[in-house]
Chain A
Amino acid sequence: MSAGTNKAVSRRGFLKSMLGAGGALVVGVELVPGLSWTNAAAAVATAGGSLGVYVTIGADETVTLTYPGAEMGQGASTGLAQILAEELMVDWSSVRLLLGGYDPQLNRPTNGTTLGTSQSTGGSNSVRGYHDYLRNVGATARQKLIWAANSLNPSIPVSDLKAVNGTVVRISDGSLVATYGALAATAVTMTPNDVAWVQPPYRIIGQSVPRLDLPSKVNGSAVYGIDIRLPGMLYASVKQAPKVGQTVGTIGAAPSGVLAVVPVPAASRPVVSGTLPPIGGVGVVTNSTTWGAIQAARSIAVTWVDEAYTANLDTALMKTRAAGLMSSGTAVTASPKVGDADAALVAAPANQRYSGTYSVPYLAHATMEPMNATVLVTDASCEIWAPTQVQTTAAEAAALVTGLPLSAIKVNTTYLGGGNGRRLQVDFIIQAVTIAKAMKGTPIKTVWSREDDFTHDYFRPASLTKIDAAVDGSGAITAIKARVVCPSSKYQTGTLTSGTVDSSAVDGLVNALYNFPNKTVEWVLDTIEVPLGSWRSVGNSQNCFFLESLLDEVAIGTNQDPIALRRSLLNSGTPTHLRALAVLDALVTASNWNTAPVSGRARGMAMSMSFGDTIVGEVAEVSGSVASGFKVHNVTVVIDCGLAVNPGMVKAQIESAVDQGLAAAMWQGQTFVTGTPQKRNFDTYRMARLREAPAINTVIIDSGAKLGGVGEPGLPPIAPAIANAIARLTGIRARNLPLSTMPVPPVISSFTPSSGPVGTVVTLTGTGFTGATAVTFNGVAATSFTVASATQLVATVPAGATTGKIAVTTADGTGTSANSYSVTTGIPLPFLASFTPASGPAGTLVTINGSNLTGTTAVKFNGATAAFTVVSATQLTATVPAGATTGKISVTNPGGTTTTTPSYTVALNPLAPTVSGFSPTSGVVGSTVTITGSKFTGTTAVTFNGVAATVFTVVSDTRVTATVPVGATSGKISVTNASGTGTSSSSYTVKLPVPTVSSFTPTSGPIGTVVTINGTNFVGVTAVKFNGKTATSFTVVSATQITATVPTATTTGKVSVTNSGGTGTSSASFTVTSGSTAGAPTISSFTPSSGRAGTSVTLTGTNFTGTTSVKFNGTAATFTVVSSTKITTTVPAGAPKGSISVTNPYGTVTSRDAYDTGIG
């Protein structure tokens, strides 16, 4: 291990200085990480006594106040310190904070003087739960200090002494008697009998003093459970079961680097007091890092055994199961029951009844700090450092695991990276103690991965709740009946008395702050085994959503302002109700309730009373749509929590509750597939981000009521406030959370026509039309509509319809048009649905389908009037008129004209042409061919063996003339029209152009002379003749030049060139001279026999007259025929060594010897 800050060392140093400060009570700093709470208490005692476990005064005049609970962000550590500091009469700047560990002296009090049986932090009960007790503790300590001053200065009577800012002074002249630091040791022994609370106005209570824990939370020094570091500490994690409700089968070999493998009790089991869960996880200890331990735990092979119920933990199955319990489960009625809601509901007429079935999902706690604990077990002791909300339960669990007595267990509370109810459970502590017990003498830090934290939670229960309400003729609610189906953690831990109601199932319903003349709340227990726990605001988190949503449905249905509706339910003159009215009044003002929000937004409100009669009203302002999602812009909150000990912290808690409740309402919910939680990290379990957090305006009402809770009451109203805003924004009631699962209703983006009388068929364009169950025109249902596609629907304006918006309803909701449809009087427009065929020539009979076709006065094809017959109201036929062109069909009746969307294509010929013959049957390019056949009208192309004629003329429907195009070759002729192509059976022969001979050179010479012939059309040349004698050798150099050799036995005469087009003959004659060549050349010798390119070589041989080429090993050379027996030639560049050849019209001779060119 490397060098680094070892906090354990500084901790020991701290402890020593505390012990060494002899005489006085000394503790002078905030909890130092890892400080043993029990040791600190012992040190205080050793130092000579105590003003009690809560108050320690240092020689440096600092005042250290013990916080008995869990500081998980709610700020209660500061709130309790404020109460103590107020009574102690010390200055806030001298106050230090000590996080108390497990100590029965720190148990939650039951009243101002009596301690209860355990330490736990929850139920928004820290400040209000400890307030009276700590007022007494502080007041007593203050009087002890005053009495100590009197004891040390007997001449000054207690009646002349008072405490001021950490000192005791004389009342008579204000002079200083002693500082607290000087009085502390003596104060310990005093027993004052004149203890009384400080009276208002207060100095510190009610002030937004800065929190004591925050400095350490902005420089990284605050120590959370996961941050504990002890000398010799090893790192552990747990391989947790992949499903909820599994035990360990077999455990594979330990991965390398693992120091110990320890089977541990299962996580997320309902913990029944005095027993441990079955083995359901495998602890893995390493000496690397926490991440190393998590990786090692992931890699160890473990087989798992399902419990009998595991496969039932499946969201789809559980929904069906809850629905069954809703319709037929046995219910227990919660008390109090008021009047007879069932009878009132039966008596109410249908239009005075409201009913909604709502649901919420299982929620994860998702604390930012994953579960963890650090534990040192020895033979005689067990010490725990943990982020826990329940020090007592943690100690009891450790005693159970280790077999040690409770007196041997120490629990040190660290800061909590969120608690939220998850750390009311001790499964992670049981696992950590079990691992440490296997590693006695070594501190072990056990940390869960985030994935395991999500998998093994004690979830906020899902609930399915139906609420029925009846109203009287004036809209006043006369009866409410709620039927709740949800599981119960009390049932799971065996603490639910059969036939009674788990209060958390109905909290917020049975004790709602409204007066209903008749009210029944009943509960059906779902025995499903999803592990359950408390989540911020517990039952109120869902039941407020149910009740406040239903009230909003009533408000909308009876056209009442929702705040006015609630006022009417409150108005009974009791103190609670007067406070609630004041909250509503403040809410109206602070939210600008009576001024409409900006366009595109709507407001919704909700309120609740919870956790010691704290009353909260909230207004949320929302924009968006189901399809695009919603945005909560701002939230106005009014809270009356009685005395606000620290208003700044009350506001922070409201902001916290709103953000957390908003994220849960919008996006969150754990789902299961055969026992496996599906959301295992923040990528799938969506948390709010900064850009999604609303602006929150909090108003605190100081009503003077007794202290109420603060941490939780802000949460319940946010979900219904948002849902109620959405109902006003969209007309859609969200009855199931999270809101992100709201089904997307249809959207009508446009419709046509925009007006018309009853009977008009209207085409709607939009989305989500599939499965439409109703279409209404200003509320009147269309009796006839057809869903053409998900994006198009046609509906007929029904009898009785009036001008107004069009709405389409599907199982996913109702979508309403932005614009109104105007219902006019008169005759409805024709509606054209389809026509067939889609094309054809004049004279074609077209069938048009639609409606409102009776009374048709005109049918036109692209403006050309057609003859037509009305077959029925939904069908007519029309004949395509002569001269019609391609375009839309329109149908007119006295109501107006309707035009088709697609065009009708007027094809002049409905059939393809046929080609029966052509004349002439051959010709050169450019000649004209007459083609005969049928259906030539509308010809679009004529081709010759595939090459299109650029010029053709349709002479008649049976005759076309075309010019043979350039590039055409012999082949069949085709004629094409819009309907197809006809092709001739025989081929047209494309002849070549006839050659012409304009000149030749030389104009005379002996047999064998090579003559160059100039002219035109030398293409496809088949013969060259000299006075009728065919040249045996000729070469077509280009289309205008040929070289030919005068053949043997030729006589003087004209030169001709022949191709398939004909023969061209020269006007002049070629004169054959004597001395004709006698035959092929021979080579007898050459000299020199070697030399590079450019060397002049003399060849000697015979028949050299008429030589046409000389080559050196194939490379042509320049040469001069000196005589019939002698040629001079020049060695060409690049010729390799080899033979020399000489060619004349009779043949070629190759030398026997090689000429050496120096190459090759």
Chain B
Amino acid sequence: MANVNVSLTVNGQQQTVSVDSSETLLWMLRDRLGLTGTKYGCGIEQCRACSVLVNGQLEKACDYDVTSAAGKSVTTIEGLSADLSNKLQQAWITEQVPQCGYCQSGMLMAATALLASTPKPTDAQIDSAINNICACGTYARVRLGIKRAAGML
């Protein structure tokens, strides 16, 4: 339970956080920084509700050692935009994607990473890039949301 200070950038803001050295990024974001948009779903890298970007790379925060995040730049759902100006957020509203919404932070981060590397993804590319679990069955609309944000609809 050793406590250490970790300095990193979260959604563009420099932060120094006192954490338990064995903690993962997920719990630092949620319980230390109060950024509760990033969700806990399984804790074993299955559901991807905890997805965030670390230095632009899609990562599962539930298994991302908090000390490894030191000096890096983390983007969470709150970092997409608070005012819904992000094109994926807008597409999500247009297509009315979320239901319970619990998985959607992870979905949006995965979609963000996908469009960053593949601006016009094919169905097959969407199939392989989006591995998040949604228990509510929003998959068809997630696909539409991505295509809309990509300007493909």
Q: Are A656 and B82 in contact (CB under 8 A)?
A: no
Distance (Å) between the CB of B76 and the closest chain A CB?
A: 7
Q: Restricting to A406-427, which residues have a CB under 8 Å from any CB of B?
A: 415-420
Interface residue from B42, B44, B137 paired with A693 (Cβ < 8 Å): B137
What residues on A are CB-neighbors of B102 within 8 Å?
224, 367-369, 417-418
What residues on B are CB-neighbors of A418 within 8 Å?
100, 102, 135-136
Determine whether A215 belongs to the interface, using a CB cutoff of 8 Å to chain B: yes
What residues on B are CB-neighbors of A325 within 8 Å?
none
Determine whether A52 belongs to the interface, using a CB cutoff of 8 Å to chain B: no
What residues on B are CB-neighbors of A219 within 8 Å?
37, 77-78, 80-84, 89
Q: Are B35 and A691 in contact (CB under 8 A)?
A: no
Q: How far is the CA of A1055 from the CA of B126 in the complex (A)?
A: 97
Q: Restricting to A215-266, which residues have a CB under 8 Å from any CB of B?
A: 215-224, 226-227, 229, 235, 256-257
Determine whether A720 belongs to the interface, using a CB cutoff of 8 Å to chain B: no
Contact with B along A644-662 (1 / 0, CB 8 A): 0000110010011111100
Q: How far is the CA of A292 from the CA of B137 in the complex (A)?
A: 31
Q: Are A415 and B35 in contact (CB under 8 A)?
A: no
Interface residue from A223, A291, A648 paired with B36 (Cβ < 8 Å): A223
Determine whether A683 belongs to the interface, using a CB cutoff of 8 Å to chain B: yes
Q: Are B41 and A368 in contact (CB under 8 A)?
A: yes
Determine whether A5 belongs to the interface, using a CB cutoff of 8 Å to chain B: yes
Q: Are B96 and A220 in contact (CB under 8 A)?
A: no
Distance (Å) between the CB of B14 and the closest chain A CB?
A: 10
Q: How far is the CA of A652 from the CA of B130 in the complex (A)?
A: 19
Determine whether B58 belongs to the interface, using a CB cutoff of 8 Å to chain A: no
Q: Are A4 and B40 in contact (CB under 8 A)?
A: no
- Contact A218 to B137, CB < 8 A, known contacts A682-B46, A690-B126: no
- Contact A695 to B140, CB < 8 A, known contacts A220-B77, A290-B40, A690-B130: yes
- Contact A290 to B133, CB < 8 A, known contacts A213-B101, A220-B76, A221-B37: no
Interface residue from A7, A226, A368, A657 paired with B100 (Cβ < 8 Å): A368
What residues on B are CB-neighbors of A417 within 8 Å?
39, 100-102
Contact with A along B62-82 (1 / 0, CB 8 A): 000000000000001110111
What residues on A are CB-neighbors of B23 within 8 Å?
288-289, 291-292
Interface residues on A, range: 35 or more
Q: How far is the CA of A293 from the CA of B4 in the complex (A)?
A: 18
Q: Are A2 and B137 in contact (CB under 8 A)?
A: no
Q: How far is the CA of A369 from the CA of B34 in the complex (A)?
A: 17
Q: Are A220 and B1 in contact (CB under 8 A)?
A: no
Contact with B along A46-85 (1 / 0, CB 8 A): 0000000000000000000000000011110000000000
Q: How far is the CA of A258 from the CA of B115 in the complex (A)?
A: 44
What residues on A are CB-neighbors of B44 within 8 Å?
450, 681-683
- Contact A220 to B78, CB < 8 A, known contacts A368-B39, A418-B102: yes
Task: Using CB atoms, name the residue of chain B closest to A689.
Answer: B131
What residues on B are CB-neighbors of A450 within 8 Å?
40-44
Distance (Å) between the CB of A460 and the closest chain B CB?
A: 14
Q: How far is the CA of A786 from the CA of B30 in the complex (A)?
A: 66
Q: Restricting to A982-1018, which residues have a CB under 8 Å from any CB of B?
A: none
Determine whether A434 belongs to the interface, using a CB cutoff of 8 Å to chain B: no
- Contact A660 to B135, CB < 8 A, known contacts A219-B84, A693-B140: yes
Contact with B along A190-226 (1 / 0, CB 8 A): 0000000000000000001011011111111111101
Q: How far is the CA of A696 from the CA of B138 in the complex (A)?
A: 11
Q: How far is the CA of A366 from the CA of B17 in the complex (A)?
A: 33
Q: Are A289 and B30 in contact (CB under 8 A)?
A: yes
Which of B16, B97, B135 has the most A CB atoms < 10 Å from its CB? B135
Q: Are B1 and A256 in contact (CB under 8 A)?
A: yes
Q: Are B16 and A2 in contact (CB under 8 A)?
A: yes
Q: Are B81 and A4 in contact (CB under 8 A)?
A: no
Distance (Å) between the CB of A946 and the closest chain B CB?
A: 63
Determine whether A449 belongs to the interface, using a CB cutoff of 8 Å to chain B: yes
Q: Are A289 and B32 in contact (CB under 8 A)?
A: yes
Distance (Å) between the CB of A198 and the closest chain B CB?
A: 25
Q: Are A1 and B32 in contact (CB under 8 A)?
A: yes
Interface residue from A215, A447, A449, A648 paired with B84 (Cβ < 8 Å): A215
Q: Are B32 and A220 in contact (CB under 8 A)?
A: no
Determine whether A687 belongs to the interface, using a CB cutoff of 8 Å to chain B: yes
Q: Are A690 and B30 in contact (CB under 8 A)?
A: no
Determine whether B9 belongs to the interface, using a CB cutoff of 8 Å to chain A: no
Q: Are B93 and A214 in contact (CB under 8 A)?
A: yes
Contact with A along B117-153 (1 / 0, CB 8 A): 0000000001110111111111111110000000000
Q: How far is the CA of A418 from the CA of B15 in the complex (A)?
A: 33
Q: Restricting to B1-60, which residues have a CB under 8 Å from any CB of A?
A: 1, 15-18, 20, 23-24, 26-28, 30-44, 46-47, 49
What residues on B are CB-neighbors of A660 within 8 Å?
135-137
Distance (Å) between the CB of B135 and the closest chain A CB?
A: 5
**Total number of B residues with any Cβ neighbor in A under 8 Å:** 69
Q: How far is the CA of A959 from the CA of B33 in the complex (A)?
A: 99
Q: Restricting to A364-388, which residues have a CB under 8 Å from any CB of B?
A: 366-370
Contact with B along A709-738 (1 / 0, CB 8 A): 000000000000000000000000000000
What residues on A are CB-neighbors of B127 within 8 Å?
690-691
Which of A4, A220, A420 has the most B CB atoms < 10 Å from its CB? A220
What residues on A are CB-neighbors of B49 within 8 Å?
368
- Contact A5 to B137, CB < 8 A, known contacts A417-B102, A683-B44, A690-B131: no
Q: How far is the CA of A216 from the CA of B49 in the complex (A)?
A: 16
What residues on A are CB-neighbors of B92 within 8 Å?
214, 218
Determine whether A188 belongs to the interface, using a CB cutoff of 8 Å to chain B: no
Which of B33, B39, B77, B134 has the most A CB atoms < 10 Å from its CB? B134
Q: How far is the CA of A75 from the CA of B100 in the complex (A)?
A: 8
Q: Are A218 and B93 in contact (CB under 8 A)?
A: yes
What residues on B are CB-neighbors of A229 within 8 Å?
34, 36
- Contact A73 to B136, CB < 8 A, known contacts A417-B102, A449-B43: yes
Interface residue from B28, B81, B98, B132 paired with A217 (Cβ < 8 Å): B98
Interface residue from B18, B40, B101, B108 paired with A1 (Cβ < 8 Å): B18
Q: How far is the CA of A691 from the CA of B104 in the complex (A)?
A: 17
Q: Are A220 and B36 in contact (CB under 8 A)?
A: yes
Distance (Å) between the CB of B96 and the closest chain A CB?
A: 6
Q: Restricting to A299-338, which residues have a CB under 8 Å from any CB of B?
A: none
What residues on B are CB-neighbors of A682 within 8 Å?
41-42, 44, 46-47, 133
Which of B24, B34, B126, B137 has the most A CB atoms < 10 Å from its CB? B137
What residues on B are CB-neighbors of A696 within 8 Å?
140
Q: How far is the CA of A368 from the CA of B43 in the complex (A)?
A: 12
Q: How far is the CA of A7 from the CA of B37 in the complex (A)?
A: 13
Contact with B along A1-43 (1 / 0, CB 8 A): 1111111000000000000000000000000000000000000
Q: Are A217 and B101 in contact (CB under 8 A)?
A: yes
What residues on B are CB-neighbors of A256 within 8 Å?
1
What residues on B are CB-neighbors of A1 within 8 Å?
18, 32
Determine whether A688 belongs to the interface, using a CB cutoff of 8 Å to chain B: yes
Q: Are A693 and B139 in contact (CB under 8 A)?
A: yes
Which of A210, A217, A221 has the most B CB atoms < 10 Å from its CB? A217
- Contact A221 to B34, CB < 8 A, known contacts A2-B18, A415-B100, A681-B44: no
Q: Are B139 and A235 in contact (CB under 8 A)?
A: no
Contact with B along A541-581 (1 / 0, CB 8 A): 00000000000000000000000000000000000000000
Determine whether B103 belongs to the interface, using a CB cutoff of 8 Å to chain A: yes
Q: Are A291 and B26 in contact (CB under 8 A)?
A: yes
- Contact A690 to B132, CB < 8 A, known contacts A2-B15, A224-B102, A417-B102: yes
Interface residue from B82, B97, B103, B137 paired with A221 (Cβ < 8 Å): B82
14 of the cross-chain contacts (CB-CB < 8 Å) are: A4-B34, A73-B98, A219-B37, A223-B36, A226-B39, A289-B30, A291-B31, A368-B41, A368-B136, A420-B135, A655-B137, A682-B47, A689-B130, A690-B131
Q: A5-B34, A649-B96 are in contact. List 19 more A-B contacts (CB 8 A).
A: A3-B15, A72-B100, A214-B93, A214-B98, A218-B84, A219-B78, A219-B84, A220-B77, A226-B36, A289-B23, A289-B31, A290-B40, A368-B41, A370-B40, A370-B41, A417-B101, A652-B96, A656-B137, A690-B132
Q: Which 3 A-B pairs have the closest CB atoms?
A: A220-B37, A659-B137, A73-B100
